[in-house]
């Protein structure tokens, strides 16, 4: 066969492949996508708010599920809700707000979530406690670590982790045919140093809180592995994007000098980055 004929044949095969793929996509339709999770999924505080969401859920139309759906053409059902815990997958969070897994079904193709950070009040409690302690010492020492030691991380390992496994199993039971993905939490603080003017945490407690978040993300990743879910790791991509960085670089808004009324949460840039990482990891 001549090179010209071979090239023509290869082009024809490629064209046929594209037509076949397009036809298959047209027949199957868009992905049936359900978004679950907490305020990091809901983008609480990011404008504009989602008019279809329960008021207390503080859901934004710029959250990563909306971004992901817009970029992939998926058909989105969004039940993300600020302050959600793993137990709210199977029980009502507020009156009139159904358990989140009620949105799932056998026809669900894709499920995403961030969850676990609110369980037992550990993560929020730690940030508040360390912030208060840091103010009292004017940013010196490690007062939070000295007071609480391993208490927060022990709770994540012993309580949050099994709760994450149960939550993911509940998702799988309701959506047996779906690709299930759980995202880690982007870095809130740098590894060392900090920024007391924006995040009032004592210098010695910055690595302490960073270790706590490492433990939380590790629990999320291990729960995903234990249940056959996909873990979307945010650690590497969010390095240098923490709340201590300048506006336009940071993905997480700080406590002070912030643009988000819901502090220590992703801004619109962070939500877009979470969507991009999920798309990349899932191969969407």
Catalytic residues: 39, 265
Tally Cβ neighbours within 10 Å of residue 48: 8
Burial 3-25 (b: 16+ CB within 10 A, else e): eeeeeeeeeeeeeeeeeeeeeee
Measured in Å, how far apart are the chain's first and last C-alpha atoms?
38
Kind and range of the H or E run holding 165: helix 161-174
Kind and range of the H or E run holding 232: strand 230-232
Which is it for the CA torsion 106, 108, 110, 112, positive or negative?
negative
Phi, psi (rounded to 5 degrees) for 190: -70, 175
Phi, psi (rounded to 5 degrees) for 151: -55, -45
């Amino acid at each position: 066969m001549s090179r010209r004929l071979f090239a023509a044949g290869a082009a024809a095969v490629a064209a046929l492949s594209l037509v076949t793929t397009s036809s298959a996509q047209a027949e199957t339709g868009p992905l049936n996508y359900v978004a679950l999770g907490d305020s990091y999924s809901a983008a609480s505080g990011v404008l504009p708010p989602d008019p279809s969401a329960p008021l207390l859920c503080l859901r934004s139309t710029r959250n990563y599920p909306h971004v992901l759906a817009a970029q992939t053409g998926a058909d989105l059902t969004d039940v993300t809700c600020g302050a959600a815990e793993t137990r709210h997958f199977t029980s009502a969070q507020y009156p009139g707000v159904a358990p989140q897994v009620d949105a799932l079904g056998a026809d669900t193709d894709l499920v995403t979530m961030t969850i676990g950070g609110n369980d037992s009040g550990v993560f929020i409690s730690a940030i508040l406690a360390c912030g208060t302690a840091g103010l009292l010492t004017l940013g010196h020492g490690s007062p939070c670590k000295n007071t609480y030691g391993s208490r927060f991380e022990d709770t994540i390992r012993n309580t949050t982790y099994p709760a994450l496994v149960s939550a993911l199993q509940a998702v799988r039971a309701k959506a047996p045919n779906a690709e299930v993905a759980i995202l880690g939490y982007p870095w809130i603080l740098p590894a060392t140093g900090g920024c007391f003017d924006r995040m009032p945490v004592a210098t010695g407690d910055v690595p302490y809180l960073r270790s706590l978040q490492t433990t939380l993300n590790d629990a999320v990743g291990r729960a995903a592995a234990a249940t056959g879910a996909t873990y979307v790791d945010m650690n590497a991509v969010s390095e240098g994007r923490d709340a201590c960085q300048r506006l336009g670089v940071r993905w997480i808004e700080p406590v002070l000098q912030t643009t988000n009324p819901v502090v220590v949460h992703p801004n619109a840039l962070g939500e877009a980055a979470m969507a991009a990482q999920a798309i990349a990891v899932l191969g969407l």
